[in-house]
Structure 1
Amino acid sequence: MDLKETDILGADIGKHWYYRSKARAMEHLLCGVTPSIILDVGAGSGFFSRKLLSNTSAKQAWCVDISYEADSETLEAGKPVYFRRSVDQVDADLVLLMDVLEHVDDDVGLLNDYVKKVPRGARFLISVPAFQFLWSGHDVFLEHKRRYRLNQIEDVARRAGLKVKYGSYYFGAVFPIAATIRLVSNLARSNQLKPQSQLSRHHVVINEILAAMSAVELPIVKINRLAGLTAFCVAEKA
């Protein structure tokens, strides 16, 4: 999760349709998984691990991000959250990498590094932006290196030493709208894509419509291998 987006939305991040919907998709993808200790890599504010602490029996979360100025600790739902710039070994049974791998040159190497830090049997939930043809100024603003097709992020997981359970796209309902806006915008700007965030606070009606469109997908979130703005991969350390 990028701290630049946290800065834009501030305390309203939990109300924004995109993050609200992604958190619900995460919970559906982890249905049946009962985590105890969460390792949240590139966690930013810890939005996603905090959601799991509030809504599941998870006992604690370790949030790792090189952007933190210093190590710190807090509580979420009475449970400890440890913010660290780095960690060595964590006895985590769930590892989150929510929109992280697209930021680094060596995505396989980073993922493998965290595979080594957790016990066998640990579940990994990875999300990345989907489809390179959707590249825009928003990607430049967030300092992305690439976007992924589903088979590409699954290949990264396997090469990092994980066994892929399943993968899927999400935000398929809003995909045609977003794709049209990005492609038209890119054509208008030719090859000069300026860093510009496309994340903004919407009118409450628009926000709820987009959230409702995304919620319609939840029953099929595990099987959508056709299209979406986000690619998810659920894997396990064998």
Structure 2
Amino acid sequence: MDLKETDILGSSIEQHWYYRSKAAATTRLLGNARVDRILDVGAGSGFFSHHLLTHTAATEAWCVDISYEADSDATTAGKPVHYRRSIDSVDADLVLLMDVLEHVDDDVGLLKAYVDKVPSGSRFLITVPAFQFLWSGHDDFLEHKRRYTLAQMEAVARDSGLIVKKGAYYFGAVFPIAATLRLLSQGAQPSPPRSQLKQHHPLVNTLLKTLCSIERPFMGANRLAGLTVFVLAQKP
């Protein structure tokens, strides 16, 4: 999770419809395969590693982010979490890149660098924002370089040496609402870049979580539209 958004949501992140739904989609896409050691690239607050350590049998996480002021160690659910500014290699069986690749000029180069740091058989779970036509001040605020289609993200994974196992869009249930709002705003007077993430009224938050929970069992079949691209791949 981007540290800029951590500052906005604070301790309420666990209940926010977007992150709660995205974390649930992450565990669903991973399925029943055992997760042991996690490498979380561009981890920010480490939200998704913390979720997996709390809700799965995962035993340890390495969170890597150049924005950390210094290396440190902590625990989540009694399990070790190592925060590092960089890492050479790690015996991880799951690598997370949650909304990371859209921040760099060379997405294939960054992904391949981490493919080379982990053992054969390691799985990669990657998310990126979907569809360039949805570009908004939110992307400018987070310093994105691009948004992706599912086919584009799958191509990046393959070009990095990975075998794509699953690919899908998520947040399809709220896609029409978000797309309408963003397209309408494109004709408005330009405003300073700012995050569109905010605290919602509890009823709105519950409604959005419910829509996403209804969609989640079918997300694996959604190759049409959504706000986020999910790709699960594996190192040969």
TM-score (norm 1): 0.98
In the TM superposition, what is the alpha-carbon distance from 1:193 to its structure 2 partner? 5.4
Structure 2 distance, partners of 1:153, 1:30, is: 18
| Partner residue, 1:9 | 9
Instruction: State the one-letter code of the partner of 1:165.
Output: K
Question: 1:141–1:197: 8 Å Cα contact kept in structure 2?
Answer: yes
Q: Structure 1 residue 53 and structure 2 residue 27: aligned?
A: no
Which aligned pairs between 1:1-238 and structure 2 lie closer than 5 A?
1-189=1-189, 192=190, 194-238=192-236
Structure 1 distance, partners of 2:33, 2:3, is: 27
Instruction: State the one-letter code of the partner of 1:95.
Output: V
Give the match's secondary structure for 1:156. helix
- Runs of 4+ in structure 1 deviating by more than 2 angstroms, as ranges, are none
Instruction: State the one-letter code of the partner of 1:148.
Output: Y
Unaligned runs of 5+ in 2: none
Give the match's secondary structure for 2:212. helix
Q: Percent identity?
A: 67
The CA RMSD measured in Å over matched residues stands at 0.7
Query: What count of residue pairs does the alignment treat as equivalent?
Result: 236
Give the match's secondary structure for 2:97. strand
Unaligned runs of 5+ in 1: none
In the TM superposition, what is the alpha-carbon distance from 1:148 to its structure 2 partner? 0.1
In the TM superposition, what is the alpha-carbon distance from 1:33 to its structure 2 partner? 1.9
Q: 1:133 to 1:193 in 2, by over 3 A?
A: farther
Give the match's secondary structure for 1:187. coil
Give the match's secondary structure for 1:188. coil
Instruction: State the one-letter code of the partner of 1:99.
Output: D
Structure 2 distance, partners of 1:86, 1:139, is: 25
Structure 2 distance, partners of 1:68, 1:186, is: 34
In the TM superposition, what is the alpha-carbon distance from 1:194 to its structure 2 partner? 2.8
